[in-house]
Amino acid sequence: MDGVKALFFDVFGTVVDWRTSVAREARVLLEPRGYSLDWLAFADAWRAEYQPGMEEVRSGRLPFARLDVIHRRMLDRIVPKFDLGKLDETTLRNLNLAWHRLDAWPDSTRGLHRLREKYFIAPVSNGNIALMVDLARRNDFRWDTILGAEIAGDYKPKPRVYLAAAEALALEPGQCMMVAAHSDDLAAAASNGLRTAHVARPNEHGPGKGEPGPTVPVDVAASSFEDLADRIV
Amino acid sequence: MDGVKALFFDVFGTVVDWRTSVAREARVLLEPRGYSLDWLAFADAWRAEYQPGMEEVRSGRLPFARLDVIHRRMLDRIVPKFDLGKLDETTLRNLNLAWHRLDAWPDSTRGLHRLREKYFIAPVSNGNIALMVDLARRNDFRWDTILGAEIAGDYKPKPRVYLAAAEALALEPGQCMMVAAHSDDLAAAASNGLRTAHVARPNEHGPGKGEPGPTVPVDVAASSFEDLADRIV
């Protein structure tokens, strides 16, 4: 890892388990109000609107908006499917903040603390700053700062997001390593000159539904954040 | 402090002692090269170019550039005065990074840790992100994220800097409190709707040369970060 000074982290799916967390948060909020959904299917359906929601910004059809805003648009699109049309605005807003209450994968926090001993660490996520701050507080992530979409004014995998992150730390792209559980994110990072590390999250979308390993060339392939720390700290 | 969720910190002079730190760093770098300056006068002269350097951006005469770039312009302006014209480029670049190696006032780190127990904490400084990251690592500041000029694309006391910081945390200005040792910074923050806390740094520019108290109305006037924590945590 000669010359690497900073590690940039994808967050949803890589650092935190969005699926079971969103399912739990939706249940906690809606079950007392008499709703009985397939909570994991609800989480999956919400997340399925993610790429289409961001593509409206990446393509220029809509101006940049923070992910909190995109999450709400995504939610509004699935409200009819889950018969949630009678929820009041306050409840919908609170439900939208489920994404601020995600739990880390079991190895993330300890792994990040170890990685921080040698590298600057920062999220380079499509999540907005307030959301990242809440996840950090909840899970004891000690980021050096929060980078990513809101700094860049665009969404991954647009080049600007990776390059703006490197520039913010006054580093060359080759001094930065993108860490993600998603090969498409790593491919985009590599094409912009960053180093890459894949971390396997084989159950991100449910048991056996995640990337057990990279499908593109990477500098490091790790089974967890602890494993990544074993390899590069 | 009803409703205040986040504390925003001025850094140079408020959190860190730039004057004796820059003097020390300049001496460490230049004395072995045979230079014998009045090191404190050198630090003062460099800092004296600060407002003019930023005003070129605030006024629109020059496009936004990170403070590292402004610091270098400021340095180049005082090179003749201190007869440093023969320094090589590598040494000048290293000297410019003296601002990344500033030490905290004795109460800052402990006070910030206590304030963080109740509030989000972030620098809202004119310093750039890389500079703030280095100061945080050096002094164990545990910021939730780094806000300020580089996020806003302009320099304090322009309104955009305060407002962009609040927006990044998804807060209203009135939910944010600016903490500074400089009454002009606090007056600007207040005029944009933020709450304000003054921290006395009576020796910022040398013994007895600093603000012993606010010269404008503030919500809290404290003698140190520990005193501020005693009052609002």
User: Using CB atoms, which residue from B130, B145, B170 is nearest to A170?
Assistant: B130
- In 3D space, the residue among B130, B224, B121, B222 whose CA is nearest the CA of residue B171 turns out to be B121
pLDDT digits 0-9 by tens, A13-25? 999 999 999 999 9
DSSP A37: -
Interface test with A, best of B145, B147, B172 (most A CBs within 10 A): B145
- Provide CATH 3.40.50.1000 ranges for chain A: 6-17+102-232
Closest-CA residue of chain A to B97: A170
Dihedral angle sign, alpha carbons of residues A77, A81, A86, A87: negative
Looking at domain A6-17+102-232, its CATH class is alpha beta
Q: How far is B155 from chain A (nearest CA, A)?
A: 16
Amino acid identity of residue B191, one-letter, is S
A2 band by pLDDT with thresholds 50, 70 and 90: confident
> CB of A199 within 8 A of CB of A105?
no
Residues of chain A within CATH 1.10.150.240 domain(s) are 19-100
Task: At A121, give phi and psi (nearest 5°).
Answer: -130, 135
3-class secondary structure per residue, chain B: CCCCCEEEECCECCCEEHHHHHHHHHHHHHHHHCCCCCHHHHHHHHHHCHHHHHHHHHCCCCCCCCHHHHHHHHHHHHCCCCCCCCCCHHHHHHHHHHHHCCEECCCHHHHHHHHHCCCEEEEEECCCHHHHHHHHHHHCCCCCCCEEHHHHCCCCCCHHHHHHHHHHCCCCHHHEEEEECCHHHHHHHHHCCCEEEEECECCCCCCCCCECCCCCCCCEEECCHHHHHHHHC
> Environment class of residue A97 by beta-carbon count within 10 Å: exposed (0-12), middle (13-18) or buried (19+)?
middle
Q: Which of A130, A145, A169 sits opposite B169 (nearest CB)?
A: A130
pLDDT of B38-64, one tens digit each? Answer: 999 999 999 999 999 999 999 999 999
Residue B145 and residue A150: Cβ atoms within 8 Å?
A: no
Instruction: Look at residue A166 in the predicted model and tell me its pLDDT.
Output: 98
Helix (H/G/I), strand (E/B), else coil: A21: helix
Taking contacts as CB-CB distances below 8 angstroms, the residues of chain B near A136 are 144
Tokens representing A25 are: 């948060």
Structure tokens at A146: 């929060």
Backbone angles phi, psi at A15, to 5 degrees: -95, -40
pLDDT at B155 (0 to 100): 97
Locate the chain A residue with the closest alpha carbon to B69: A170
Query: What integer is the mean pLDDT of A38-60?
Result: 96
Average model confidence (pLDDT) for chain A?
97
Q: Chain A interface, mutation test: which of B68, B129, B171, B172, most A Cβ atoms within 10 Å?
A: B129
Chain Cα centroid distance, residue B147 = 12
pLDDT digits (tens, 9 = 90+) for B58-116: 999 999 999 999 999 999 999 999 999 999 999 999 999 999 999 999 999 999 999 99
Q: Which residues of A touch B (CB under 8 A)?
A: 66, 68, 120, 128-130, 132-133, 136-137, 142-146, 150-151, 168-171
Give the pLDDT of residue B1: 78
- Matching residue, tokens 């890459």: A196
In angstroms, the separation between the Cα of residue A103 and the nearest Cα of chain B is: 18
Q: What percent of chain B lies above the pLDDT cut of 90? A: 99
Residues of A in contact with B137 (CB under 8 A): 144
Candidates B79, B71, B78; CA nearest to B53 is B71
β-sheet bridge partners, residue B28: none
- Does 1.10.10.10 match the CATH number of domain B18-100? no
| Residue A1, pLDDT score | 78
pLDDT of residue B2 exceeding 90, the answer is no
CA distance A13 to A44: 12
Quickly count: other Cβ atoms within 10 Å of residue A33's Cβ. 11
Cα A38 to Cα A50: distance, rounded to the nearest angstrom? 19
Over range A202-206, report the average pLDDT. 98
Please list every residue in chain A whose beta carbon sits closer than 8 Å to the beta carbon of residue B144: 133, 136-137
- Per-residue pLDDT, A189: 98
Fold of the A19-100 domain = DNA polymerase; domain 1 (1.10.150)
As given in the structure block, the two tokens for residue A195 are 């180093």
* Residue in chain A lying closest to B120 (CA): A133
Instruction: Indicate the pLDDT class of residue A151, thresholds 50, 70 and 90.
Output: very high
Burial class (CB in 10 A: 0-12, 13-18, 19+), B180: buried
**What ipTM was reported for this prediction?**
0.96
CA distance A35 to chain B (A): 29
The answer on pLDDT for B131 being more than 90 is yes
d(CA B196, CA B174): 10
What's the mean pLDDT in B159-180? Answer: 98
Average pLDDT, chain B: 97
Q: Running DSSP on this structure, what letter comes out for residue A200? A: -
Interface test with B, best of A135, A146, A172 (most B CBs within 10 A): A146
Give A-chain residues touching B146 at CB under 8 angstroms.
Answer: 145-146
Nearest chain B CA: its distance from A132 CA (Å): 9
**Other CB atoms closer than 10 Å to residue A160's CB: what's the count?**
16
Strands A103-104 and A16-17: antiparallel
